[in-house]
Structure 1
Amino acid sequence: MTLLFAGIAVATEATATTGRWWWAGVVGALWLASLFNMINREYGQTLLAPDRMQFSTLVSRRSIPWSEITSIEPRSHQTCGGAWWEVCVRRAKGRSLAIPGIFTSRRGDEVFEGNLTVVREYWARATAPE
């Protein structure tokens, strides 16, 4: 994705002699937004408490009770540059959310699988009938 935006930036810079400098600004802003999104997902943190999950990213804080979660599943994404995986929680009400900090671009990553297992265990303990 970065190479795509860099190529577009170079192409628009080449056409800048015609007075279309704003294209370079638009492409640069889109590239920065995608870069920030990637960093925000990678370096976010998730705290697992007995009654809820607490998400913490560079720009937001969110807390979701275990009782609102209907499933926890890995999600894969294919791009021209390769594949990457993240873990998402599906909520009873609302859209599914990616869990910050659980992210990989390696197939069969043991750390990723271990983190997925830990989150599922917390969820199972919290929703188990007493």
Structure 2
Amino acid sequence: MTKVKEIPLRVCRTCDKPLERKRYDQRLEDFGTFKRRKYCNLHCANTRKTLTKHGYSWRARKHLKAACEACGETRRRIAHHIDQDITNCQPENIQTLCKWCHDFFHSMADRRGLMVAGKMVCLVSQRE
């Protein structure tokens, strides 16, 4: 008689339902595969409870202006969070910077050992 392995109690990371070994044509799912599985089905696997860093960046990009607010460059625009909180994607907390200004702003703060907070100043004069 074969021993039946004791199944550890595991729950789905999304819906908190207990995970059970799946059956494929009267065969149980491999025990190692079951132990690695984190979700009960594909729907739960494709659903996230919280946003990832990429998700917050995507939300912030919706508020980008047409050009960099520091130098006027229109290419490679990045959303800079003024208060350094990536979860705060309010339009008043987003400053549109080009990649070069954004990197410059953060590298200058790093060299001085400061926390970057606030808006970057305009580097070119505004012509009327």
TM-score, structure 2 normalization:
0.30
Structure of higher CA gyration radius: 2
Structure having the higher helix fraction is 1
Structure having the higher strand fraction is 1
